[in-house]
Amino acid sequence: MTDLNIDSLTMRFSGLVALDKVSFTVKENEIFSLIGPNGSGKTTLFNCINGFNKPQNGTINFCGNDLLNKKTYRIIRSGISRTFQNVQNIPFMTVLDNILLGANSRIDTLGTLKRLVSRDQRKIEESMALEIMDFLGIANYEQKFMMGQPFGIQKLAEIARALVSKPKLILLDEPAAGMNDQETREIANIIRDIRDELGVTVLLVEHDMNLVMSISDQICVLESGKVIALGEPQIIKDDPKVIESYLGEPLNA
């Protein structure tokens, strides 16, 4: 029962309807992609799941919990973590400390107090982050300051920060934005590994169609806040509505 159920979600910013009765279900261990033109409400949907925006109507249900009643800082405890479209890292902290920020929900008050008297607690905390950094292949960056790191490392560090809390569902907001083909392929492999090795369900927003089509199990297409298509990649590719509003005609047609 670790499905994410979104039912007739409606979010209005005064006059503008950002999300209009959006409904879909993300099943456990699935890579679910949200695509759509700019301003179609993908990030707003993420913000609703994450508690940054409070929608007027509808429900979001995860593992039997109603997420809309929860404060933003409680969402991560119910097993959902996220990354941001514009990387949100702390420049004057080391990469390791940035990632440890995500482990906050795993460190209880007793552990925090223990840190004041012993160094062992710090080692325990660091091993949490190093485990994920090894998994993503950025372990040799641990001691370096986030400030001045290449964009790819910053993106990976953000994914690591989201993963270190051991979530059941991870929301990835354009992980491949601003990356070249090589890096995009690496990201695709990483997303697959997140699902296969860590067993984390992935909800993905992405504009790179090759990436989306190659790794997704389900795709949901949004346009001006409405769901216009929902299904497997092959169905979405041939859907006339999606081609008209987002994908466009193939060049050699």
Partner 1 sequence: MKDRYEHENLYWIPILIIFVFLLPVILKGVTFSYKYYLFVLNLAGIYIILNVGLDLLSGFTGLVSLGHAAFLAVGAYTSAIMVDQLGVPFSLSLIFSPIIVGIFGFIIGFPALRISGMYLGLTTMGFGFIVKRIIISFRDWTQGSAGLEVSSPVLFGYTIKSDWDNYYLIYTFVIIAIVIGRRIATSKIGRSFMAIRDSEQAAEASGINLSQYKMLAFFISGLFAGFAGVLFAHTSSFISTDHFDILLSIYFIIMVLVGGASSIYGAVLGSLFIVLLDNLFVPLIEDQIQLIFNTQAGDIQSLIFGLIMFLFIIFQPMGLYGMWLKMRIYWKLFPFNPRQRFT
Instruction: Give the separation between CA 4 and CA 157, rounded to whole angstroms.
Output: 25
Residue 91 interacts with partner 1 (CB under 8 A): yes or no: yes
User: How far is CA 222 from its chain centroid?
Assistant: 17
Give the residue, chosen from 27, 73, 151, 244, that forms a contact with partner 1 under the rule CB under 8 A: 73
The DSSP result for 21-42, as a single string, is EEEEEEPTT-EEEEE-STTSSH
Residue 137 interacts with partner 1 (CB under 8 A): yes or no: no
Residue 43 interacts with partner 1 (CB under 8 A): yes or no: no
Minimum Å gap between C-beta 54 and partner 1 is 14
Q: Which of these segments, 7-15, 58-66, 115-123, 198-206, binds partner 1 (CB under 8 A)?
A: 115-123
What number of residues does the chain have?
253
Give the residue, chosen from 84, 183, 231, 233, that forms a contact with partner 1 under the rule CB under 8 A: 84
Residue 209 interacts with partner 1 (CB under 8 A): yes or no: no
Residue 131 interacts with partner 1 (CB under 8 A): yes or no: yes
Residue 116 interacts with partner 1 (CB under 8 A): yes or no: yes
Residue recorded with tokens 């159920």: 5
Residue 3 interacts with partner 1 (CB under 8 A): yes or no: no
Instruction: Give the separation between CA 216 and CA 30, rounded to whole angstroms.
Output: 8
Residue 201 interacts with partner 1 (CB under 8 A): yes or no: no
Instruction: Give the separation between CA 162 and CA 164, rounded to whole angstroms.
Output: 6
Q: CA nearest 243: which of 45, 37, 39? A: 37
Give the residue, chosen from 93, 198, 213, 243, that forms a contact with partner 1 under the rule CB under 8 A: 93
Residue recorded with tokens 């070249």: 180
The residue (of 13 and 73) whose beta carbon lies closer to partner 1 is 73
The residue (of 131 and 193) whose beta carbon lies closer to partner 1 is 131
Residue recorded with tokens 């700019």: 38
Give the residue, chosen from 12, 21, 115, 207, that forms a contact with partner 1 under the rule CB under 8 A: 115
Instruction: Give the separation between CA 158 and CA 249, rounded to whole angstroms.
Output: 35
Give the residue, chosen from 130, 177, 213, 247, that forms a contact with partner 1 under the rule CB under 8 A: 130
Residue 54 interacts with partner 1 (CB under 8 A): yes or no: no
Strands (DSSP E) contained in the chain are 4-13, 16-26, 31-35, 57-62, 65-66, 80-82, 169-173, 201-205, 218-223, 226-231
Q: Which residues bind partner 1 (CB under 8 A)?
A: 50, 52, 71-77, 81-82, 84, 88-93, 97, 100-105, 107, 111-112, 115-116, 119, 121-123, 125-127, 130-131, 144-145, 147-149, 161, 165
